[in-house]
Amino acid sequence: MDWELRGKRGVVTGGAKGTGAAIIRAAADEAAHTVVIDRDENAARKLESELHGCRKQTLARVVKLTNAESCRQAVEQATRSTGEIDALINNAGVNDRVGLEGGSPAEYVASLARNLLHYYNVAHYALPWLKKTHGTIVNISSKTAITGQGGTSGYASSKGAILALTREWAVELLAYGIRVNAVVPAEVMTPLYRQWLSSFPDPEEKLENIVSKIPLGQRMTTPEEIAAAVLFLISSKASHITGHHIFVDGGYAHLDRALS
């Protein structure tokens, strides 16, 4: 499908693997000029080489988004490559299992830094460019913000705050014609998800149990399905959509899972 993204300039944080890489590949397929921002240099360079081999305009920028200054540098490096920013996709994060009982106040603050603060910081430094292009922001959240999961206070509260910031920014940026939306996945098979599964005594049994509770089709959502929702939201076909939380989860968060 033609999302009318040819020549558009997009920045994806956490774009080297999993859902982020699916977004990068989908945008590159639409002839968008994409920039991968990721801390994993090997994965970022590998994706860059893959897409360059297909003559697609994708550049990797290896940055750890650990503080405001690193976020400023990430945006500066991205715009040095693209000239402008039409779309920012905030995606980087990790379900780090910092819970109320098993964690500590210091670990909780560190979790917020890994999962929330860079969403604000990158958007802050990208804002002057987004104003010029009347661009879009898509924030990737998580079903944990809605359903809870247990044992992951840092990640869940970060993802809940991301949903609140999506609505807040949509209001604040109306005057500039900047649209802001969020995509909310539930169960998506990514390298980090597989790593989490491997922490259980029987990963396959755990996976079967999870999949059985996904109402639509009893299957995982694919990274490509998340990417398709993101491309729609940054495209002109979504030109009157802002402030929305789009759930791409097979009905996990809102349908009665007893139906499955």
Domains and CATH numbers, the chain: 9-186+222-247 (3.40.50.720), 189-220 (no CATH)
Give the separation between CA 150 and CA 106, rounded to whole angstroms. Answer: 19
CB neighbours of residue 11 within 10 Å = 29
Q: Which of 22-31, 148-157, 173-182, 188-197 has the lowest mean pLDDT?
A: 188-197
Helix (H, G, I), strand (E, B) or coil at 155: helix
Per cent of the chain over pLDDT 90 is 85
Model confidence at 52, pLDDT cuts 50, 70, 90, reads confident
Instruction: Of 13, 36, 135, 128, give the one whose Cα is nearest residue 86.
Output: 135
What value does the mean pLDDT take over residues 185-202?
90
Q: Which of 1-5, 139-143, 181-185, 220-224 has the lowest mean pLDDT?
A: 1-5
Give the separation between CA 183 and CA 18, rounded to whole angstroms. Answer: 15
Whole-number average pLDDT of the chain: 94
Q: In this structure, are residues 4 and 236 in contact, taking their beta carbons and an 8 Å threshold?
A: yes
Model confidence at 55, pLDDT cuts 50, 70, 90, reads low
Give the separation between CA 37 and CA 92, rounded to whole angstroms. Answer: 9
Give 192 or 119, the one with higher predicted confidence.
119
Give the separation between CA 20 and CA 184, rounded to whole angstroms. Answer: 14
What value does the mean pLDDT take over residues 158-168?
98
Q: Which residues are catalytic?
A: 155
